[in-house]
Amino acid sequence: MTEIDPAIPLRARSGDEKAFIEIVEFYYPRCLRFARNMLGSEQDAEEAVQDAFTRVYDSFPRFREDARFDPWLFRILANRCRTSMARIRRHRAMIEYGDLPIMAAAAVPEEDFGADWAEEVRVVLESLPAEQREAFLLRHVEDLSYEDIAAVTGAGLSALRMRVKRACDALRIRLDKVER
Amino acid sequence: MIVDERDELIERAARSLAGLPPVNPVAVMHIMSAVRARRAQRPSLVAQFAGWMRVPSLSMASASMLAAATLVIGFVSGGAFNGAASSVARVTGARGAMPLVQVADVPAESRAVAVPMVFDAASAHTVSIVGDFNGWDPTTTPMQRFGADGPWTATVLAKPGRHLYALMVDGVLTVDPRAPKANDKDYGGDASVLMVTKP
């Protein structure tokens, strides 16, 4: 079961705390998986997920009765992840200017494939532009339809298909090399 | 038309990213603490109305609209809303002297911040937080146990700055093992230190 009983978000919206706990417990694993894959850091991901749920609570009055909960929740979470990525980028830029040798030592060379196949997938994922990574994860890991991804990201269907295709192409090129 | 191909390689890649982490009870508890604190800080409808009444340009319009709405409701319900009408009258009568303060009106440096607190004491029966933010009153901030034998949790509201506090565990004052300690003359012994940053 990947989607919650639609009555539960409506109960939470009207102030039922037990229903809100049910939502958090139901979606926490999926939200953490998405945030972890987006941000590449456990700590940042946990922070983003906790903040996203607090925003869900704040925004409940704007949740429409006839709307589906999954895309609405993922829209809030994806926005929170984008904010987090911008903060991480700013932080990295500061470190690069202030402490270059450490960052240089930590950088992974382009052709240095790790032994772990899953780790390779993560390396490729992190190298993708954020929009492509987001679209790929929502489509192929979170199993959302393109219509739902459009509701999450606000992008058009053909743009989303292109983002997913480009992400898949990048993964194929890199992973084909690992396979050989 | 772009075809959404999910070949064997992409399938494997997606699978390697699809592992679901378990539900983390402490994270759930933190989320709920933050949500409860937000609810506590959210102004009630009466407080919101009092806030509108403080804005001169809105006060007359708001009062007229509410009076009209009350009259209509009272007429339709045959007097069932008499209680509501009288409570509104009390609010409007107290205009100007009302101590209700909207969160947005308070400057960041003096705005209380909700801080979730966690304490492990498996064998304790009652735990509460005492500190300078609640007048060292053990009845103000009781902690709730999370689950049958989980940690004790509570949310305190404290203004940005340095605060001293302790835990009252089954009636005995105890320092928080997770926090730095400070000797406090007024308190008469070691207390725990809580640093609250601006929201």
Residues in chain A: 180
CA A35 to chain centre: 4
Q: Which of A4, A16, A20, A32 is the best substitution to test chain B (most B C-beta atoms within 10 A)?
A: A32
Using pLDDT thresholds of 50, 70 and 90, give the confidence band for residue B40.
confident
- The token pair at B87 is 């409570």
Hey, how many other C-beta atoms are within 10 angstroms of the C-beta on B32?
21
Cβ–Cβ below 8 Å for A161 and B28:
no
- Residues of chain A with Cβ-Cβ distance to B2 below 8 Å are 158, 161-162, 165
Per-residue model confidence as pLDDT tens digits over A150-180: 999 999 999 999 999 999 999 998 888 777 7
Q: Where in chain A is the domain with CATH 1.10.10.10?
A: 110-180
Q: Is the pLDDT of residue B83 over 50?
A: no
Q: pTM for the full model? A: 0.59
Q: Give the number of beta-carbon pairs within 8 Å between A and B.
A: 85
Assess B38–A contact: CB distance below 8 Å, yes or no: yes
Q: Where in chain A is the domain with CATH 1.10.1740.10?
A: 1-107
Per-residue model confidence as pLDDT tens digits over B186-197: 666 788 989 887
Q: Which of B13, B16, B32 sits opposite A21 (nearest CB)?
A: B32
Would you state the pLDDT for residue A2? 72
ipTM for the whole complex = 0.80
Cβ–Cβ below 8 Å for A24 and B31:
yes
- Residues of chain A with Cβ-Cβ distance to B12 below 8 Å are 117
Per-residue model confidence as pLDDT tens digits over B163-172: 889 999 998 8
Smallest CA–CA distance from A57 into chain B, residue: B35
Fold of A1-107: Rna Polymerase Sigma Factor; Chain: A (1.10.1740)
Q: Is the pLDDT of residue B67 over 70?
A: no
Would you state the pLDDT for residue B35? 84
- What sign has the CA pseudo-torsion B142, B147, B151, B153? negative
Instruction: List Cα–Cα distances, B13 to A122, A176, A179, B17, B30, in angstroms.
Output: 9, 12, 12, 7, 33
Using pLDDT thresholds of 50, 70 and 90, give the confidence band for residue B199.
low
Q: What is the DSSP letter of B43?
A: P
Top pLDDT among A86 and B73 is at A86
Top pLDDT among B156 and B48 is at B156
- Give the whole-angstrom CA distance, residue B196 versus residue B160: 5
Would you state the pLDDT for residue B1? 53
Cβ–Cβ below 8 Å for B9 and A172:
yes
Residue B151, amino acid: P
Smallest CA–CA distance from B15 into chain A, residue: A141
Span A111-137, mean pLDDT?
82
Assess A53–B contact: CB distance below 8 Å, yes or no: yes
Cβ–Cβ below 8 Å for A171 and B38:
no
* CATH architecture under which domain A110-180 falls: Orthogonal Bundle (1.10)
- What sign has the CA pseudo-torsion A134, A140, A144, A150? positive
Instruction: List Cα–Cα distances, B96 to A35, B59, B64, in angstroms.
Output: 47, 11, 18
Smallest CA–CA distance from B25 into chain A, residue: A25
Smallest CA–CA distance from A170 into chain B, residue: B10
Instruction: List Cα–Cα distances, A31 to A12, A28, A77, B1, in angstroms.
Output: 18, 5, 7, 31
Cβ–Cβ below 8 Å for B18 and A141:
yes
